[in-house]
Amino acid sequence: MTLLEQMLMNTDSVVILGHVRPDGDCLGSALGLYNYIRSLRPDIRMAVYLEEASPKFAYLKGFEEIRHRTDDENYHLCICVDSSDRERLGEFVCYLDRAQSSLCLDHHVTNTGYGEHNVVEDKASSTCEVLFKQMDESRIDKAIAECLYTGIVHDTGVFKFSCTSPKTMEIAGHLMAKGIDFGNIIDDSFYRKTYIQNQILGRALLESITFLDGKCIFSAIRQNEMKLYGVDGKDMDGIIDQLRLTEGVEVAIFMYQTGASEYKVSLRSQSIVDVSRVAFFFGGGGHVRAAGCTMSGSIHDVINNLSLHIEKQLNEREQED
């Protein structure tokens, strides 16, 4: 019996939490787990609390039932998914503090082990992959498979990032066998863009700047530009992926303004720089090839600070070679 199954046997109420600005893996794992518990143990009182997510994920079963505000409810068991530290849970951390028991399911190399029990597999492509291994496969129905497949697709950039393993593909195969419409899941939740999302992508690419001899590229979107185009953070998915694919680039940086002098920063690397180390230094976290953090100062300050750390790693590598 897996740890998840054991913990579900000994509880009558469960709260599921994920990280701020929930992405496909966070939503997929939270709702996959929600639907699994609902079918396995309908007697359990349960809720998912997450910040508002992009409506492109509305096809996931249970999406409309997600609660976006804190309330006075208490739950016995708190399960945190796809979140490397307590801060990532945002305001919903209060449910973790009030729970008698907790389980953290995650795949971030920077995970701090903040749960009472932690299942953290940093080689797994996604939290959905970790979660699949905690489930009884015969109890996974089509709706649960859609959730888990979505998370895997998003965290692997449609099965191509280095986190994709033979095991990932095997699990995806098992999920396909549940009858999901995998083509539509990929198109609708990953590739499809609204008109304004395409416009902001174009703007970000047009204004991008390369530095460190073309090994790095960055682009920044200010709040006034976000207002002009009518976009928010959820509309900027995919910009970093296009920057990353620029020929000759080792590290791509994308940031958008979240406050007077505050930026949400995304980092991606090709094969040398460990961006999780860079992000961790600035209070964030993530994976070796994909990480993020929130930084203060002007765009210039942010780039200068990041650049020092990136250059250091590039130099270290050159000395080794």
Cα–chain-centroid distance for residue 301? 26
List the interface residues with ligand AMP, window 74-133 (CB under 6 A).
Answer: 84, 88
In whole angstroms, give the CA distance from residue 5 to residue 132.
12
CB of 82 to ligand AMP, least distance (A): 6
- Closest by CA position to 78, among listed 95, 91, 94, 65: 95
- Strand spans (E) along the chain: 13-17, 45-49, 77-81, 101-106, 117-120, 209-211, 216-221, 251-259, 262-269, 285-286, 290-296
Q: Which does 289 bind (CB under 5 to 8 A by kind): Mn ion, ligand AMP, none?
A: none
Distance CA 208, CA 176 (A): 38
Candidate segments 50-58, 171-179, 206-214, 288-296, binder of ligand AMP by CB under 6 A: 288-296
Strands 251-259 and 101-106 come out as unpaired
- By a kind-dependent CB cut-off of 5 to 8 A, residue 250 interacts, out of Mn ion, ligand AMP, none, with none
Nearest one of 176, 185, 227, 184 to 203, comparing CA atoms: 227
Q: Which of residues 176-215 bind ligand AMP (CB under 6 A)?
A: none
The helix (run of H) or strand (run of E) holding residue 50 is none
Cα distance between residue 11 and residue 73, in whole Å: 15
Q: CB of 123: closest distance to Mn ion in angstroms?
A: 13
Is 266 a binding residue for ligand AMP by CB under 6 A? The answer is: yes
Which of residues 18, 28, 157, 284 is near ligand AMP by CB under 6 A?
284
Binding Mn ion (rule: CB under 5 A), the pick from 25, 129, 235, 250 is: 25
What kind and span of H or E run contains 103?
strand 101-106
Question: According to CB under 6 A, which one of 18, 90, 151, 292 is a site residue for ligand AMP?
Answer: 292
Q: Which is nearer to ligand AMP, 19 or 76 (CB)?
A: 19
Binding residues with ligand AMP: total (CB under 6 A):
13
Which of 87, 55, 51 has the alpha carbon at shortest distance from 70?
Answer: 51
Please identify, among the stretches 64-72, 95-103, 220-228, 289-297, the one whose residues bind ligand AMP according to the rule CB under 6 A. Answer: 289-297
DSSP label of 253: E
Kindly state the tokens that stand for 93.
């951390």
Give the binding range for ligand AMP (CB under 6 A) out of 39-47, 127-135, 137-145, 285-293: 285-293
Does position 250 bind Mn ion by CB under 5 A? no
> Which spans of this chain sit near Mn ion (rule: CB under 5 A)?
23, 25-26, 82, 126-127, 155
> Which spans of this chain sit near ligand AMP (rule: CB under 6 A)?
19, 84, 88, 266, 284-287, 290-294
